[in-house]
Structure 1
Amino acid sequence: MGEKTEKATPKKLRDARKKGQVAKSQDIPGAATFVASIGLLLAMSSFLFSQFQATCLFFWGKVSSPFFIENHYPYIFQSLYQILICSLPFAIGIATIGAIVNFLMVGPMFATEIFKFDIKKFDPVNNLKQKFKIRTLIELLKSTFKILVVFYICYKAWLEVSGMFPMLIAQPLIATFFLVYTFLWKVVVRAGVFFVAIAVADYLYQKRLFDKEMMMEKFELKQEFKNTEGDPELKSRRREIAREIAYGGGRRGVKGSKVVITNPTHIAIALAYERKKVPAPFVVAKGKGVEAEWIIFEAKKLEIPIVRNVPLAWSLYETGEMHEFIPLETYEAVAEVLKWVASLGGAEEEVEEELIDENLKGTEL
């Protein structure tokens, strides 16, 4: 198995997305909902406190002596219903924020392949291997670390307020509530900052890990290109891009070409290559006899490099199609020619290294 050195192509990323494989961190929604819940509690604190107080007064006002629970079921259910109604906006707000954060992190995604039946999902050996993956171990260590840090935050906050509790004996009840509130505030603010920091770090780590997992071998990259050659939609799109770059076909296509390859007089093939637009060179003009002479004439007039390479010229003429990528078997020779052309103007033209054959460096130019 070759080494994965190439970045993932858009097609591979799209295929992975269909399977639900994207760069994401479970800590991001968790941290966001934690911070949001604190914010909502603070924003709704007056409303929640008044409703809770009213519910308690209602219930205790209905309690009779002696107390028999069966006589108070209606009041208990009514009180619970009131608490549920008051909590509903809070719960909906938290759920909405969690959904929005997930959407912003991974974008719109409906991975249908997740729901497809796969017998491998029921393989106990495979499931056991998944559980003992390095990533699972890292997640376990991360969870343990978070628990320890939160425990330390609680302990530290308790040390800061515990000295005040003996003084509460001579203070009204409201002072106790205020001290408890101070303790909880210290804990949630510090824990919130910690969770956000962990979430950001985890997302960066997961993104890097995902990019590494999606990397491709050079052979895999070539194979994908070969497999997509027959796709009618991609073929149509390639022709459209080719026409846009070449400003037409035949002799006019020479205007947008990068190099003209000849044999040297009988045939001529003009190739275009815009690396930022297309993944490989393609034929924009080709001809034989008089047509070849015209292509060479236009190339000289436009100061486009002309390369004499008899085997390559014949190969491109016989197997290359207008406004189509060059045949796979000509990649290496064409890549070497393009490197030579780029060196003429001192340009730093990037050519895929796997297309260059060191044995072709003696080709007559």
Structure 2
Amino acid sequence: MKHLLFIVGDELIMSQNYKDYIYRAYEEKFQELSEIRIQSKTDKELPFLLEKLMKKYEFITLFADEQCYAIIAKILATLDEDNLILKDETLVPDKAIFAKNSFVSDFKYCKINLLKVNTEEKLPPLLGEIYLDFKYFCLFGIDDESALILLETLRKSFEVSIKASKLLENLTLMKVTSSQAVKIEGFLQSVKKLFGPKVFLGKNPLHFIINKLLEKRLKISFAESCTGGNCASTLTKISGVSEIFEGSIVSYSNRLKHEWLGISESVLEGRGVYSERCVYFMLKGIFKTAQPDFALAISGIAGDEDREGIKAGSVYIGAMFKDGTYLQELLELKGDREFIQKQAVLGAFYLMFKLKPEIFEF
């Protein structure tokens, strides 16, 4: 089903944090950000634009600031040959399905959910249901090209389409699409049989891994340098993590790596701070301090300039379990600082997955 996220109003556009909030809420409901349209204000062409969009999309979720809401509500009522009435101090079409500051109008070929949004308040509820003709799953331990080759027979058998996106080396996000839910489910069951514990449902491997830690009450801590606390920030975005997370150490300078994590100055000299050896002692240091079940450590160059003969984007990551087993890797990443940091975080959590795959089996 084709669906559109439509944002109208300067107030919403200018507030990046609130706009990101809208994106998160929308993606949680519809599982993806498919198509996005942004318009700064209402104009005389808006009624004609909405009529055009209603012919293209089956569902439109329209977020409007308070200045634009009344005009758009009036347009929708007119297009539906309906009357505006006052409900809970908000003007809504009489025939619309309504919740506070949110309503759905049902047109012949399209439904539109209009929300009145205030950047100082919680988003109103997103209303209306659509059939999602796709599902996401992730494969690890196999490259994207090989995965598509192995899945081709199943794809033909169940008459589905599949797309792949490489997240990291040997970590691939897959999307399966079909107009029939039973074919998607049959395909996914066969994928599980084919790949076993190397497959898990959903599009976010970080959420999957963290939820497994929550399920098994396994505590985790981090020793971060170039990622500046992104591991901890990612973890605390998920409700309930206080059960498995007490804290971590962000040691950006060599001085604090030495004083807080106990890494000897000889290890930290020169390019030693960007090395597997440094990451190993970061892991040992955070284990001594926090005593978790799992520890992750990251050190490298997230900027765009080489240092100490180490290329920009070179990031060393490590994962260690309480039994002393550990894995380390060097990631060679390209992009801006934020992209490299996020990829390093994903790589570190994924390394934990590779260290103890039996803990994270689907």
Superposition TM-score, scaled by structure 1 size: 0.24
Whose Rg is larger?
1
Question: TM-score, structure 2 length as denominator?
Answer: 0.24
| Larger relative helix fraction | 1
More strand by share: 2
